Amino acid sequence: MRAGKYEVKAKGHGSSFMPMSVTLSEDKITDIVVDSRGETKGVADEVFKRLPKEIVDNQTLNVDAVSGATISSHGVLDGVAQAINEAGGDAEEWKNRAKPVIKKAADEEITTDIAVVGAGGAGLAAAARSLQHGKKVVIAEKFPQFGGNTARAGGPMNAAEPDWQKNFKALAGEKETLEKLAETPIEKIDPEYRDDFKDLQKQIQQYINSDAEYLFDSNLLHEIQTYLGGKRVDLKGNEIHGKYELVKELVDNALDSVKWLTDLGVKFDRDQVTMPVGALWRRGHKPVEPMGYAFIHILGDWVKAHGATVLMQTSVKHLLVEDGQVTGFVAEKDDGSKVTVHAKAVILASGGFGANTPMVQKYNTYWAKIDDNIATTNSPAITGDGIELGLEAKAKLFGMGFIQLMPVSDPKTGELFTGLQTPPENFIMVNQKGERFVNEFAERDTLAKAAIDNGGLFYLIADDKIKATAYNTTQESIDAQVKAGTLFRANTLEDLAKQISMDPAVLTETIKKYNSYVDQGEDPEFGKSAFSLKCEVAPFYATPRKPAIHHTMGGLLIDTKARVLNENGRVIPGLFAAGEVAGGIHAGNRLGGNSLADIFTFGRIAANTACSEQNASDATSGASEH
């Protein structure tokens, strides 16, 4: 090869391309530097640490992709191959060289107080809280890096904080939304929620009568929206809604979770209140750092610094159960060695099963059809492992047939943050004809069903001002996506329509009508319930979107203390669950922004319960010895 430094670009996890610098001698790769600044933090970090070193150390391109980051792994390998070919070498020969040999470690046994399965947000929250209680903690994560689905989350976390929200002006349409909610006939409210709903009606009436212009919120509004937002009927006529005591536990403790995370070092942007798609209300606490990485790296660094034993690339295969009590688990490392963990409590925090399409198809009773090739927003790690572990201990399942589709996903990859993803008050969703077809402020399943009824593929239309409200998007990323053909841009709506094969007259008329609705603060066509910006400042953008599997609503039934229950409704001693692996809270449809509130709230609760039960048991045994 011609020795030198070669500058190449490789496809990354998102729609961006990663600049890479590959240094070659005549017969060796001596250095690989990847500029991953355009990548989503926390999703493929391990790729950029591990693959360059493996390639250089072993002088081969025949190395395995990093689990959970296949696209970025292949991007690095393709970039190095490109450099080799540019230098006159033969990249295919490098790809056919011997693969590095992984040596199997000795089997091991570990004894601890708390064993956590999964190192996403719920697992790390449970681990951190257990460490704060002075317990020994073991975390098992089957992938090579922390994060799970939390690393892919948009970032806003729901928690009602009225004193803070009063600093923000109400959007056009929000008061009308409250009035409409308050007019819901009481017979449509399930009995256990009726007293709270009546109290909420009084709160809303007092707010309306005051002529206040600020953003209203309360725990009761969060509770009733979570309940009604999740109340659904499946294809078999089965009605489901969130269990009152679990929903109340969530909304009453969500703000404490925000404060707890703040104490650990997460910085929240107090200058804006926001909401993700399908949240129904602006109560999102958004971290300053981008997306879910803001939580993962703070919690991950904290548990490592405070003495947790971390087992990466370790898949939990079976629970240890003695006389009905869960006493640990048996796991397998990626080298094939076995790890047996003996623990006083096991907290399952392994996520749902959204990346396991056959499992989704097996349980689904909500959608007429789940295609074999449907995309998912999930990490590849989210395959239902915790559900299967819970069943070993005779756990009861709740709501497994209800699957949430994320309506605004990348048509090819299922990713959320390609294109221009903006807050729903700025969404303009048009079908392939260029017509609006839904209230863009609605729940996720409503949006997904409407999209499917309109052929699946649709577009989010934005202008230059709306572009400025997009999540985690740089101008460099926008330009790269336009060049790649995954985002469309034009100086006129007519030209934009032509690029996406629409009738220009239809699209321009659609946007003209939408802008008039923003002016009047009312949408007579679809009843959109909150507006912010008009679409009128060039350049204009169109982001293609299509529903993808996002959240599996059902899971292991838990009580308010995050204890897993069996078929008879009794607590399974020693077994706890938090996050998407648990069922009973969100029921048939989850509000956007409630998952982060859920994982950090019930992750903490699981740890609090497990630790307090251990302390009580230790005190009892100590007293009996005396």
Residue 234 has which token pair?
A: 């499946």
Range of the domain at 570: 112-158+241-402+553-620
Tokens 């204009």, residue located: 540
- Count of C-beta atoms within a 10 Å radius of residue 583: 29
Q: Considering 526, 549, 572, which residue would you say is the last residue of a domain?
A: 549
My answer on whether 390 and 453 are in the same domain is no
ω into 539 cis (within 30 of 0) = yes
Q: How far apart are CA 237 and CA 445, in angstroms?
A: 17
Contact (Cβ atoms closer than 8 angstroms) between residue 264 and residue 232: no
User: Does residue 340 belong to any structural domain of this protein?
Assistant: yes
My answer on whether 455 and 317 are in the same domain is no
Residue 16: the pLDDT is 59
User: Does residue 72 belong to any structural domain of this protein?
Assistant: yes
Tokens 């048939």, residue located: 588
Contact (Cβ atoms closer than 8 angstroms) between residue 458 and residue 409: no
My answer on whether 495 and 557 are in the same domain is no
DSSP per-residue string spanning 576-604: EE-GGGEESSSTT-PPTTHHHHHHHHHHH
Residue 618: the pLDDT is 84
Within 503-550, where are the H helices?
Answer: 504-520
User: Does residue 466 belong to any structural domain of this protein?
Assistant: yes
Q: What is the bridge-based pairing of β-strands 458-462 and 429-430?
A: antiparallel
Angle between helices 244-264 and 293-305 (to 10 degrees): 70
My answer on whether 116 and 263 are in the same domain is yes
User: Does residue 568 belong to any structural domain of this protein?
Assistant: yes
The vertex-248 CA angle with 243 and 254, nearest 5°, equals 125
Cα separations in angstroms, 593 against 155, 200, 276, 470, 599: 8, 21, 6, 16, 11
- Count of C-beta atoms within a 10 Å radius of residue 605: 25
Give every CB contact of residue 58 below 8 A, 6+ residues apart in sequence.
98, 100
My answer on whether 574 and 605 are in the same domain is yes
Per the residue annotation, which of 444, 545, 563, 604 is the catalytic one?
444
Give the domain CATH number at 46. Answer: 3.90.1010.20
List the chain residues with pLDDT less than 70: 12-16, 38-42, 472, 621-626
Q: Considering 525, 549, 573, which residue would you say is the last residue of a domain?
A: 549
DSSP per-residue string spanning 402-422: -EEEEEEE-TTT--SSSS---
- Count of C-beta atoms within a 10 Å radius of residue 340: 15
The vertex-158 CA angle with 385 and 254, nearest 5°, equals 80
Give the domain CATH number at 529. Answer: 3.90.700.10
My answer on whether 80 and 117 are in the same domain is no
Contact (Cβ atoms closer than 8 angstroms) between residue 254 and residue 597: yes
User: Does residue 349 belong to any structural domain of this protein?
Assistant: yes
Residue 622: the pLDDT is 65
pLDDT digits 0-9 by tens, 430-489 = 999 999 999 999 999 999 999 999 999 999 999 999 999 987 677 878 888 898 888 999
pLDDT digits 0-9 by tens, 43-85 = 778 888 889 999 999 999 999 988 777 878 888 999 999 999 9
| Long-range contacts formed by 612-615: CB under 8 A, 24+ apart | 613/345, 614/113, 614/135, 614/344, 614/345
Residue 454 has which token pair?
A: 């309109």
Q: How many domains does the chain have?
A: 3
My answer on whether 278 and 394 are in the same domain is yes
My answer on whether 334 and 397 are in the same domain is yes
Cα separations in angstroms, 471 against 40, 419, 599, 626: 12, 10, 22, 61
My answer on whether 525 and 575 are in the same domain is no
User: Does residue 347 belong to any structural domain of this protein?
Assistant: yes
Q: How far apart are CA 12 and CA 311, in angstroms?
A: 27
Q: What is the Cα Rg of the chain in Å?
A: 25
User: Does residue 219 belong to any structural domain of this protein?
Assistant: no
Give the domain CATH number at 262. Answer: 3.50.50.60
Torsions phi, psi for 7 (to 5 deg): -95, 120
Residue positions counted in the chain: 626
My answer on whether 47 and 63 are in the same domain is yes
Residue 67 has which token pair?
A: 């689990």
Q: Considering 96, 123, 146, which residue would you say is the last residue of a domain?
A: 96
My answer on whether 255 and 390 are in the same domain is yes
Cα separations in angstroms, 456 against 48, 334, 408: 35, 38, 10
Amino acid (1-letter code) at residue 449 = K
DSSP per-residue string spanning 259-312: HHHHHHTPPB-TT--B--TT--SS-EE-BSSSTTHHHHHHHHHHHHHTT-EEEE
Active site annotation includes 604: no
Q: How far apart are CA 250 and CA 160, in angstroms?
A: 11
The vertex-482 CA angle with 476 and 483, nearest 5°, equals 90
My answer on whether 269 and 398 are in the same domain is yes
User: Does residue 602 belong to any structural domain of this protein?
Assistant: yes
Give every CB contact of residue 48 below 8 A, 6+ residues apart in sequence.
34, 36, 39, 72, 76
